[in-house]
Amino acid sequence: QKEVEQDPGPLSVPEGAIVSLNCTYSNSAFQYFMWYRQYSRKGPELLMYTYSSGNKEDGRFTAQVDKSSKYISLFIRDSQPSDSATYLCAIRAAGNKLTFGGGTRVLVKP
Amino acid sequence: GAVVSQHPSWVICKSGTSVKIECRSLDFQATTMFWYRQFPKQSLMLMATSNEGSKATYEQGVEKDKFLINHASLTLSTLTVTSAHPEDSSFYICSAIARGIYEQYFGPGTRLTVT
């Protein structure tokens, strides 16, 4: 079993819809949770960073963490074609090393 | 946000030769840099962690004699792929963190093709 599981997609939605992404993890020691966006042939770009259970909002993005269920989510409201990318969850315990999910490809159709 | 650059962005080399990839933090001092490898449609796999002035720590299964990492300054780390083979063709990405900051900032990646 992988430490971090993420549905690979692809996830196709019409423009303006809500995109819902999620990851599950197995290690209770994980404390810090991140979402990255990666366009094709580019490096990942940090979108959201949180370390506690609950919701965190930043513009059209909402990150949700449920430590009791070991489940994290990212919601993108009012999705745009420019949101089409691969979204990676990344989690770490104390220390610097990140463990990535496999990534979910998202396609927002105009 | 912090900026990390990589050079070159794309390199083609012949089998058996060595190639060096540079990773630079442009506006902060990177106490730790990470090197990842990414195959098409797959996630990032951590290869090694390097701290300035010390030897890199390699992940299990990564050959340290094949993938030489040098972190000689707080703004530069290099990855040298020695005696490259076609199976080394991949997308190599570095990331960096500053002292006391745990957010990793990623470079744009380097596409290596070995013919």
Mean pLDDT of A52-62: 93
Q: What is the mean pLDDT of residues A11-23?
A: 97
Q: Are B103 and B97 in contact (CB under 8 A)?
A: yes
Percent of chain B with pLDDT over 90: 71
Q: Is the pLDDT of residue A45 over 70?
A: yes
Question: Is B1's pLDDT higher than 70?
Answer: no
Among B2-6, B34-38, B51-55, name the most confident range: B34-38
* For residues A95-108, average pLDDT: 90
Which residue on chain B is closest to A49 by alpha carbon?
B103
Q: What is the mean pLDDT of residues A71-85?
A: 97
Q: From the list B41, B43, B109, which residue is nearest A43 (CB)? A: B109
Q: Are B25 and B4 in contact (CB under 8 A)?
A: yes
Inform me whether the pLDDT recorded for B84 exceeds 90. yes
Q: Which residue has the higher pLDDT, B115 or B72?
A: B115
Average pLDDT of the residues of chain A: 92
In which band, very low, low, confident or very high, does the pLDDT at A28 lie, cut at 50, 70 and 90? Answer: confident
Run of H or E residues at B41: none
CA distances from B26 to B5, B30, B87, B96, B112 (A): 7, 9, 31, 11, 23
CA-based nearest residue to B113, from B93, B83, B85, B94: B85
Which of A 71-110 lie inside 8 A of B, CB atoms? Answer: 88, 92, 96-98, 100-103, 105
Instruction: Residue A42: list chain B partners with CB under 8 A.
Output: 108-109
Q: Cβ contacts (< 8 Å) between A96 and chain B: which residues?
A: 32, 34, 49, 97, 102, 104
Mean pLDDT for chain B? 92
Confidence class for position B91, pLDDT limits 50, 70, 90: very high
Q: Which residue of B has its CA nearest to A93?
A: B102
